[in-house]
């Protein structure tokens, strides 16, 4: 007879001070390995988000290291389309303090809106995602977990969240990222390049534009992490894999976006190009930026080639 698994310890209660200068206001969400809190910063006199490893998983050194690594990156990076980190603490427990973002995650918008966003809004989102990925790639990192719940939009301005599975280009194990959003080479494992993030941009824009993924993921859904998607850092960032290592990206043809919705030809071609099975056949981030920018006639600009 197997022993029942003890439930994880409850979240921190309001009023708790997890680190000097920060006070818990409310528990936002619990993911597979993280707790997320609405908190108050005494130094900044404002709300923030505190991200900590769940109490029942703090003994896992790899998770502690992953959280601290993400916090150090986000403190060092400065970009208008990336969430900012204010502080990183190693003691008494690993903890990262992030800015609180207004707006909604794309996941919330996809399910809330009665009508699909205009083509110009899809293109503008593409420009913002490309800008963030261009910066990250210049810092020597791949994001590897672009998905609607990892993007917050406020008044047309997008910010990318969650660097918990980010890594430099190179060999990676199979399944790093989120099941439904993995590029085929992420699902298989092996060498990863900037083309994996081009896939992430394409699959995110496809879902925003049509309300659906370009293939059937069965009952697997993307975890939102919190009902309020306005708070930074609410993606799960888990290394997830499908049942029995089955991935629709490896077996099902990707339906052209034109089969789901009519879009300007160049915009549809760019999104479809991101979802080519062969990484070498996908457009570069620069080529995507130029394509998305060209779909914005009111602010069309020259995009310098890198």
Mean pLDDT of the chain: 88
Q: pLDDT for 8-41, tens place per residue?
A: 889 999 999 999 999 999 999 998 899 999 999 9
Q: Which domains does the chain have, with CATH numbers?
A: 22-99 (3.30.200.20), 104-299 (1.10.510.10)
Average pLDDT over residues 126-152: 98
Cα–Cα distance, 268 to 254 (Å, whole number): 13
- List the Cα angle 48/147/182 in 5-degree steps: 135
- Model pLDDT for residues 152-188, shown as the tens digit of each residue: 999 999 999 999 999 999 999 999 999 999 999 999 9
Listing DSSP states for 29-98 in one string gives EE-SSEEEEEEEETTTTEEEEEEEE-GGGTT-HHHHHHHHHHHHHHHH---TTB--EEEEE-SSS-EEEE
Q: Is the pTM of this model over 0.85?
A: yes
Q: Assess whether pLDDT exceeds 60 at residue 62.
A: yes
Largest CA distance in the chain: 68
In which band, very low, low, confident or very high, does the pLDDT at 216 lie, cut at 50, 70 and 90?
Answer: confident
Indicate if the pLDDT at residue 6 is higher than 60: yes
C-beta of residue 213 within 8 angstroms of C-beta of residue 255: no
pLDDT in tens, 232-272: 333 344 444 444 578 888 887 899 999 999 999 999 999 99
Above pLDDT 70, what percent of the chain? 87
* pLDDT band with cut points at 50, 70 and 90 for residue 120: very high
**pLDDT at residue number 243:** 45
**Cα 266 to Cα 277: distance, rounded to the nearest angstrom:** 20
Strands 151-154 and 22-30: unpaired
Q: Which residues contact 172 (CB under 8 A, 6 or more apart)?
A: 144, 186, 189, 190, 191, 192
């Amino acid at each position: 007879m197997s022993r029942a698994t003890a439930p994880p310890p409850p979240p921190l209660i309001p009023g708790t001070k997890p680190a000097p200068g920060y006070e818990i206001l409310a528990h936002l969400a619990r993911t597979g390995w993280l707790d997320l809190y609405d908190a108050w910063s005494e130094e900044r006199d404002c709300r923030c988000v505190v991200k900590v490893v769940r109490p029942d998983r703090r003994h896992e050194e790899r998770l502690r290291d992953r959280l601290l690594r993400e916090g150090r990156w986000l403190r060092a990076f400065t970009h208008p389309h990336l969430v900012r980190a204010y502080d990183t603490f190693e003691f008494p427990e690993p903890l990262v303090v992030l800015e609180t973002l207004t707006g909604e995650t794309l996941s919330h918008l996809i399910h809330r809106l009665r009508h699909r966003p205009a083509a110009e809004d899809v293109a503008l989102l593409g420009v913002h995602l490309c800008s963030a990925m261009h910066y990250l790639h210049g810092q020597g990192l791949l994001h590897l977990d672009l998905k609607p719940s990892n993007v917050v939009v406020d008044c047309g301005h997008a910010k990318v969240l969650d660097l918990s599975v980010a890594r430099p280009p190179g060999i990676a194990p199979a399944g790093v990222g989120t099941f439904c959003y993995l590029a085929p080479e992420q699902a298989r494992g092996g060498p990863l390049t900037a083309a994996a993030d081009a896939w992430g941009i394409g699959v995110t824009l496809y879902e925003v534009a049509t309300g659906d993924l370009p293939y059937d993921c069965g009952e697997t859904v993307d975890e939102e992490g919190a009902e309020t998607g306005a708070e930074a850092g609410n993606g799960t960032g888990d290394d997830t894999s499908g049942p029995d290592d089955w991935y629709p990206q490896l077996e099902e043809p990707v339906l052209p976006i034109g089969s789901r919705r009519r879009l300007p030809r160049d915009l549809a071609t760019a999104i479809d190009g991101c979802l080519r099975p062969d990484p070498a056949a996908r457009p570069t981030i620069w080529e995507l930026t130029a394509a998305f920018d060209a779909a914005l006639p009111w602010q069309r600009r020259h995009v310098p080639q890198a």
